[in-house]
Structure 1
Amino acid sequence: MRALRLPQLSSLRAFEHPGYLAVWLGALISNIGTWMETVSMGVYVTQETGRAEWTGGIVALSFLPSVVLSPLGGALADRFDRRAYVAVGITVQLVLAAVLTVLAFTGKLSVPIVGVVSLLNGCASTLTNPAFSAMLAELVPPRDLHSAMSLNSAQFNLGRIVGPLLAALVLQMGGASWALFVNTLSFVAVLVALSRVRLPARDPEAKKETLWAGITRGISVARGDEDIWLVLWGTLFVAALVAPFIGLVPVFAINVFGQGAAATSLLVACQGAGAVTAAVVVGTLADALGHRRLLGLAATSIGVVSALYWLSPTLTVAAAGIFVLGANYLMLMSGLHAFATSRVPRELQARVSSLYSMVLGGGYAAGVWALGALADRVGVRFVTISASVLFLALVLTLRLLSPRSFAGPQTSQG
């Protein structure tokens, strides 16, 4: 299998590596199925309960495990063959998807069951994701790491475009059970892709370190690097104050605009389209501006963009707003992730990635549930706009107190 040559656009350089491309395509197919399930279950919970708190709570259950399990997942990823480890995690998620599908087809699906499966799936994802991110880093040279992370976010968001559109079609024609069935089958694509790649041999000395020592070493390295520590705090605030726009899309579409599954799918797809558009250019922008400066611009603008999205007077305006917000969010989050992991040796990248996942998942779980609960009481627009303005105020304060955080070259060990 020959590598693609894309020298004219540095954002796409990771595609030059066949192993990365195979995993990227497999993950794309799987994420299309995942977004079909996400939209189907979001609409199901919102229509069954009529409460934003329930919709946000179910979403939060998928991310709560990251608060506890992410460091463990990072330590495990640095002890075992990452390809085999990821394959086991994907298989577990396949089984959980199959259980949900069977319950839907037999008419035994309920909101509490969706919550339990979401929690278990969150556990499996949390333990797998650090290994998956570190595996991607092993499939490309250090200079292409930002490209690899951005393109990985792009495939996730490309699934966010295709998945909701397919979900709307399948929901109309066959119902949620068929959308869940497609998601179950989609996990096979990742397993096939993993069978086609080979990773560099692991250091046998890494297995001699105890799990607890591995976890504490990762935390110690992160705390000892001022830039990584700042990235983790920034990720936490983005996750809690801005990122809940993702989980609250069904609430915005159904409770604010009085629409249903089609409107939910439209907004989710537009967010994905914005993210994919950004992924194509973010690497080139990072090369031109520097990673730190690009992150500063993305962090400063996202609070404004988020507030404008929640102020949208019509569904059409909201679709345009979430397109821009999706692009801004992709630039910021993929940049934060790549910046943090590039500052440590490869044997520690899974552990740093797991800390990023921990604060992202924990902050998002708390934020989406809290904002959803408050939205039921004082209105979704007031709560989400207030959170966006608060995030903007935090960023502007940091810019005044620490201008260095938003300018200057990246230092990397890559």
Structure 2
Amino acid sequence: MRALRLSRFSSLRAFGHRDFVHVWSGALVSNIGTWMETLALGVYVTTVTGRAEATGGIAALTFLPAVVLSPVGGALADRFDRRVYLAAGTLVQALLAALLAVLAFTGRLSVPAVAVISLLNGCAATLTNPAFTALIAEIVPPEDLHSAVSLSSAQFNLGRIIGPALAAVVLATSGIAWALIINTLSFIAVLVALSRVRSSGKGSVSSQEELWPGIVRGARLAREDAGIFLMMMSTLVVAALVAPFIGLVPVFAIRVFHQGAAATSLLVTAQGVGAVTAAMLLGPLLERFGRKRVLEWCVLLIGPMAALYWMAPTLHAAALAIVGLGGLYMATLAGFNTTCQLRAPRDLQARISSLYGMMLGVGYAGGVWLQGALADRVGVRFVTASAALLFLALVLTLRLLRPRCFDATEAPTGHGTVAEPRPAVALEGSGEF
């Protein structure tokens, strides 16, 4: 009966699978804590330094490890029991969160300490995120994977809504230390969820396969498949020119609107509202219009929406604009990632996911730092709005030169030895900011 009710709503069908519900719930609790920490540290760094470059730099450090470690994480995810591997990575992230909390409680928190721990946390997340992707591909059947994509995006962005709101309250009443300790405790939910998953979690590649040849196989596919290559390059450009709006939210709230944690929380929460709304609508839209058409419209609209957000005259106007921007950003990245996974054979899905994460991390790390540095010199609005309009110009140029380039998003191609490639879902930070 429950499955029958869920089948009427294409975006909810994945909830009919027990293991997915456990993973989804655990990841939601963890993401709420992560967003509390993200907002608290963003406000802390912006307030202490007064520089957009510092705030952007700290945000970049979390994703910089993706430049080197993403392919390694993808290869490892295909070799080991993914539940054990994920549990180990979660414990490392919990220890790093606890270290931040201890520093804050003892009054020893500093910007350099935040930078180092952010870099180490980025390493742990980069190595474990492909395993989350591969585990979801195991526990959700092919016919419900579009639902899993939407619900996982909704989960991540529910954390983006709830976490900053809680962080604003905690910062106002108890201080940064308590926000950080709540994040530390939130990792327990992931460990409990993994312990209740019934899937074997075993990788699809023999552990006797050498690490480097396995990485090379994934990279070769990404280079040779025209559809995957286009999606990878598109992800890189979106991450560099549009995605920095996420890391620079504290700068926008504090430097432009002259407000603090409450304004930062409002903007982050508004982005999450837009992303959750889009996640719930994405399944029906894909069924009605097709992946190609939906993705083309998202790519065309995201640049102008980002420029509208950065040029908003008031905080409340910016909050309304970021609702739309959050929805378009979620739908665009979901389209890129899903297309990559549909075109990859099952035994290479984790590695393709890791390369996608690498493009996202490289673009975002470089973009958020560079835009932050330039914002200190020529103004936040000018730099960020110009980057958004540059993205629009690149999209229009691509459509003019290659009008049928997005045809590759409509159907998977046959690769490798597995007949039924399946889309995977990113649950944590490096998969979707």
The C-alpha deviation readout for 1:209-229, integer Å capped at 9, x for no partner, is 100011000101111211000
Structure 2 match to 1:284: 284
**Contact preservation (8 Å) 1:292, 1:405:** no
Name the CA distance, whole Å, in 1 between partners of 2:409 and 2:37.
41
Mapping 1:202-221, distance limit 5 Å: 202=202, 206-221=206-221
Moved more, 304-313 or 143-152: 143-152
Percent identity at matched positions?
64
Deviation at 1:408, TM superposition (A): 7.2
The superposition leaves residues 112-139 of structure 1 with CA deviations (integer Å, 9 ceiling, x where unpaired) of 0000000000000000001111111111
Relative to structure 2, which stretch is displaced further, 51-60 or 14-23? 14-23
Amino acid at match of 2:344: V
Displacement of 1:345 in angstroms is: 2.2
CA contact (8 A) 2:79 2:205 kept: no
Residues 310, 203 of structure 1: CA spacing in aligned structure 2 closer, same or farther, 3 A cutoff? closer
CA separation of 1:325 and 1:203: change in aligned 2, threshold 3 A: closer
Q: In structure 2, what is the equivalent of residue 380 of structure 1? A: 380
Tell me the residue number matched to 2:427.
none
| In 2, Cα distance between equivalents of 1:410 and 1:280 | 21
Provide closer, same or farther for how the CA distance between residues 97 and 304 of structure 1 changes in structure 2, counting only shifts above 3 A.
same
What is aligned with 1:68? 68
Which letter maps to 1:220?
R
Deviation at 1:354, TM superposition (A): 0.1
Counterpart amino acid of 1:282? Answer: L
Q: Match of 1:299? A: 299
1:37 and 1:282 map into 2 onto residues whose CA distance is: 29
Distance between the aligned counterparts of 2:245 and 2:260, measured in 1?
17
Distance 1:400 1:327, change over 3 A: same
| Alpha-carbon distance between aligned partners in 2 of 1:310 and 1:239, rounded to the nearest angstrom | 16
In structure 1, the residue matched to 2:176 is 176
Say yes or no: does 1:126 pair with 2:139: no
Partners in 2 of 1:51 and 1:238 — Cα distance?
24
1:36-185 map, 5 Å:
36-185=36-185
Partner residue in 2 for 1:324: 324
Query: What secondary structure does 2:404 align onto?
Result: helix
- Partners of 2:380 and 2:409 lie apart in 1 by 39
**C-alpha displacement of 1:5:** 4.0
Distance 2:174 2:282 in 1: 38
The letter for the 1-side match of 2:161 is I
Name the SS of the counterpart of 2:410 in structure 1. Answer: coil
Question: Which deviations, in whole Å up to 9, do the C-alpha atoms of 1:189-232 show, x marking residues without a partner?
Answer: 01000111122574675212100011000101111211000000
Task: List runs of 5+ in structure 1 lacking aligned partners.
Answer: none
CA distance in 2, matches of 1:248, 1:191: 31
Paired residues, what number? 413
Report 1:335-354 matches (<5 A). 335-354=335-354
Report the AA paired with residue 82 of structure 2: R
The separation in 1 between residues aligned to 2:263 and 2:194, in whole angstroms, is: 35
Question: Contact 2:81 / 2:203 at 8 angstroms: preserved in 1?
Answer: no
TM-score, length of structure 2 as denominator length:
0.93
CA shift digits 1:313-341 (9 cap, x unpaired): 00000000001100010110111111111
Give the superposition deviation at 1:290.
1.0
Do 1:149 and 1:337's aligned partners in 2 also have CA atoms closer than 8 Å? no
Amino acid at match of 1:97: A
Residue 375 (structure 1) shift: 0.2
> Displacement, 1:146?
2.6
Question: 1:46 & 1:228 partners in 2: Cα distance?
Answer: 37
Change in 2 beyond 3 A, CA 1:201/1:44: closer
- Alignment of 1:275 with 2:309, yes or no, is no
Moved more, 2-11 or 259-268: 2-11
Does structure 1 retain, via aligned residues, the 8 Å contact 2:28–2:159?
yes
Paired residue for 2:34?
Answer: 34
Question: Hey, what's the Cα distance between the residues in 1 that align with 2:322 and 2:380?
Answer: 16
What secondary structure sits across from 1:197 in the alignment?
Answer: coil
In the aligned structure 1, how far is the partner of 2:163 from the partner of 2:106?
24
Q: Deviations over 1:48-70 (max 9, x none)?
A: 00000000000000000000000
- Note if contact 2:240-2:363 (Cα within 8 Å) is conserved in structure 1: yes
Name the amino acid aligned to 1:30: S
SS of structure 2 residue aligned to 1:294: helix
Return the offset for 1:13.
1.9
2:162–2:269 contact (8 Å) kept in structure 1: yes
For residue 16 of structure 1, report the CA deviation from its aligned partner: 1.7
Task: Give 2:416's aligned residue.
Answer: none
Instruction: Return the letter of the residue paired with 1:51.
Output: R
TM-score computed with the length of structure 1 as normaliser: 0.97
> 8 Å contact 1:4–1:15 — kept in the other structure?
no
Q: Which moved more, 1:147-156 or 1:40-49?
A: 147-156
Question: For the Cα contact (< 8 Å) 1:3–1:18, is it kept in 2?
Answer: no
Instruction: Using the TM superposition, give the Cα deviation of residue 4 of structure 1 relative to its aligned residue in structure 2, in angstroms.
Output: 7.6
| Matched AA of 2:198 | R
User: Matched residues in 1 for 2:203 and 2:6: separation?
Assistant: 32
Q: Measured at CA, do residues 407 and 342 of structure 1 come closer, stay the same or move farther in structure 2, by a change above 3 Å?
A: closer
The one-letter code of the counterpart of 1:308 is L
What is the alpha-carbon distance in structure 2 between the residues aligned to residue 364 and residue 184 of structure 1? 25
C-alpha distance in 2 between matches for 1:312 and 1:205: 50
Deviation at 1:302, TM superposition (A): 0.2
Question: Which 5+ residue runs of structure 2 have no aligned equivalent?
Answer: 413-420, 423-433
State the 1:346 CA deviation. 2.0
- Give the equivalent residue in structure 1 for 2:14: 14
Using the alignment, how far apart are the partners of 1:204 and 1:233 within structure 2? 27
Distance in 1 separating the partners of 2:285 and 2:400: 24
* Separation in 2, partners of 1:81, 1:233: 31
Q: CA deviation at 1:15?
A: 1.5
